Amino acid sequence: MVQLRLDVLRKPLGLSFIPDELKEEKNDILLGAFEDEQMLACCLLTAINSSTIQLRQMAVEKKLQGKGVGASLLRFAENVASDRGYTYMVMHARETAIGFYEQNGYKTDGERFTEVTIPHYKMIKKIK
Ligand SMILES: CC(C)(COP(=O)(O)OP(=O)(O)OC[C@H]1O[C@@H](n2cnc3c(N)ncnc32)[C@H](O)[C@@H]1OP(=O)(O)O)[C@@H](O)C(=O)NCCC(=O)NCCS
């Protein structure tokens, strides 16, 4: 999963992961979409409070992007979050991915900000 995230999310920005960043994920929910043993897409969910959970690190293998894998994984993540009692899903969406989340029912919330050197918006959806 870290390799997929590196290839899709960090290397194109000239960045990598610092070990502490990964250690903080030990209480998160890590989700993957697989074909046989190979992970094709992934994301993780970090609880913010008892009603809100944050989707992070959403990545689909480059050659499979645009084929519906991301939308399927997002729906699955929403079901997992809803089953665990969360009402809202939020994320810090890259500006380039806003359209993807909008198509899946998310709305921007607040001003544009910079994260990992590129523009982002907070987005939110009521999932329950
Ligand atoms: C963004 C990402 C997760 C979307 O997953 P995907 O599997 O490529 O998307 P899907 O094929 O499920 O697309 C679902 C719909 O969203 C649209 N869509 C996908 N990516 C989009 C984008 N970047 N901007 C606008 N619309 C997009 C698709 O056209 C599709 O619409 P349709 O159903 O009308 O055809 C994936 O492309 C990816 O990993 N991108 C690089 C990393 C990234 O930006 N991650 C998100 C960080 S916030």
Chain mean pLDDT for the chain: 97
| pLDDT given for residue 77 in this prediction | 98
pLDDT for res 126: 98
The predicted structure's pLDDT at residue 72: 98
Give residue 97 CA to ligand 1 midpoint distance, Å: 6
List Cβ neighbours of 47 (8 Å cut-off, separation of 6 or more). Answer: 27, 53, 54, 86
- pLDDT tens sequence across 62-79: 999 999 999 999 999 999
Question: Band of the pLDDT at 84, cuts 50, 70, 90?
Answer: very high
Among 100, 116, 124, 125, the mutation site with the greatest number of ligand 1 atoms within 8 A of its Cβ is 100
pLDDT of 106: 98
